[in-house]
Structure 1
Amino acid sequence: MARDRKPVKSKGGRPSREQAAEINGRILSAATTLFLKRGVDGTSLEAIAAAAQIGKPTLYARYPDKSALFAAVIRAQVDAAMPPITGVAETATPAARLRQVGRAVIEGAMKPVPLGLMRLYIAEAPRHGALIREVDRLGRQAALEAIAGALAGAGGADAIDRAHVVAAHFLDMVFVPHQMRALLGDVPDEADPLHPTLDARIETAIAAFKTMHLLPAE
């Protein structure tokens, strides 16, 4: 049986806020690893408690059932999968900013853990449909805001509106098909028009946006 680590307690006898956050982080990390390895059905709360080195009462006090813990895992991963957007030069052209930020967002989602969790979400959709749809919406919104924010820069309302349109099209034209091929384990091939490289997808999208006058010609 797993035993709780013995964190230094606060004066009131309970773990401090920082200690509680550390325990919760261990729970989510253990749950993520086991869900990816065994699937949701194949993972017990007892196994998660043991992997997190906590007692079952500690786990149940935070997550009364596996569905609640699964929901917490996927919400946490939405935030973790979104890379910090830094180093975007205001003097760069909109196309250059789109290349930089769009690539960063997609590459963050293509890492092993986010990609593995996406496969798990798809498998769990029949039983957790509402939750999976919510997470998909949250993830898409986070990606859209990151890309649109970089595109708009310090522009006004018109620039922001246009940036959101471009970002939404970018997700549909580049992110979604690239992610789908990755989920299937299909390696990009410059000679394969059905699965070009990420850079090729981005350049095709940028050319289309310029044709539609959504991005200025350089």
Structure 2
Amino acid sequence: MKTSRLLKRKPAPKRAKVRFGRPPKELAGEVDTRILDAARKVFLERGFEGASIDEIADVARAGKPTIYARFRDKRALFTAVVTRDILSRIAEFRATVPTGATIEARLISAASTLLHWGLDSERIALMRLAIAESRRFPDLASTVGRTARDLSTELGVRLLGELTKSDELRSLPAFAPKQLATTARFFLDLIAVPMLFRALFEVDLKTLDAEIDAHVARSVPFFLAACRRGSMR
């Protein structure tokens, strides 16, 4: 009997089964982030109509069943991307304590930081896409608009709240606790909203970014003068 016949073939190693759907809890957050990041990239490159779940799955390195386990369809995925990247990022913004020798300098520092952060190219591109798709997603457009305004007002209250620790501002009616939300809204409408509108309709964001500091330096003294004269009602 030949030696080769005496040797038994070793069984081929079993392949690990490929699992689709939800991963273990400890990895779920990472997978969700990967899918949303990939979807944002594809939506920005292709638009809503041109994007496909197949391409998003390839970019996310995730199976289609994994995506569909989390998002009902492409519409639900688009809604999640817009909600996360516009609303969640507003809520997550944390500015450092404003610095400067005067109240005006501290407020200029805070406003400039906010605008430079808020007008980055990807965030503005996604907002443009959401506006372009507003007829397809009317509820999303109205909800995002209202919620973004509410969240930005809360952000303005936080920024101005740091300044109310100053004896000078604490005594002004515009910075009283009951009035602070209204004052914050005036502050944002005067300083942030004009630049946001320009960002949505002007292609060259680098040029706009270079104008932020000068715009803030002009607007903040006007805002503070109105506060000191008691005009914020």
Q: 1:165 to 1:149 in 2, by over 3 A?
A: same
1:185 paired with 2:203, answer yes
* Alpha-carbon separation, structure 1, partners of 2:26 and 2:205: 42
Q: Larger deviation: 106-115 or 198-207?
A: 198-207
Equivalent residue number for residue 119 of structure 1: 128
Equivalent residue number for residue 32 of structure 1: 40
Alignment of 1:85-100 (within 5 A): 85-88=95-98, 93-100=102-109
1:129 paired with 2:101, answer no
- Confirm or deny: 8 A CA contact 1:149 1:160 kept in the other structure: no
Identity of aligned residues (%): 34
Return 5+ residue gaps in structure 2 as ranges: 1-17
Return 5+ residue gaps in structure 1 as ranges: 1-5, 8-13, 191-195
- Confirm or deny: 8 A CA contact 1:174 1:202 kept in the other structure: yes
Equivalent residue number for residue 24 of structure 2: 16
Q: 1:161 to 1:100 in 2, by over 3 A?
A: farther
Alignment of 1:136-155 (within 5 A): 136-153=145-162
Higher relative contact order (CA 8 A, sep 6+): 2
Number of equivalent positions: 201
State TM-score, norm by structure 1: 0.78
* Alpha-carbon separation, structure 1, partners of 2:138 and 2:101: 41
Residue deviations 1:8-54 (CA, integer Å, cap 9, x gap):
xxxxxx63323011111110000000000000110011211121111
Equivalent residue number for residue 182 of structure 2: 165
Equivalent residue number for residue 41 of structure 1: 49
- Match of 1:87, SS state, is coil
- Confirm or deny: 8 A CA contact 1:144 1:168 kept in the other structure: yes
Q: Return the match for 1:52 from 60, 63, 66.
A: 60
Q: 1:165 to 1:92 in 2, by over 3 A?
A: farther
Amino acid in the other structure paired with 1:73: V
Q: 1:187 to 1:117 in 2, by over 3 A?
A: closer
State TM-score, norm by structure 2: 0.73
* Alpha-carbon separation, structure 1, partners of 2:196 and 2:128: 11
Q: 1:174 to 1:134 in 2, by over 3 A?
A: same
- Confirm or deny: 8 A CA contact 1:71 1:131 kept in the other structure: yes
* Alpha-carbon separation, structure 2, partners of 1:152 and 1:42: 45
- Confirm or deny: 8 A CA contact 1:105 1:143 kept in the other structure: no
Q: Return the match for 1:208 from 222, 228, 231.
A: 222
- Cα offset, 1:74, TM superposition: 1.0
Higher gyration radius (CA): 2
Equivalent residue number for residue 192 of structure 2: 175
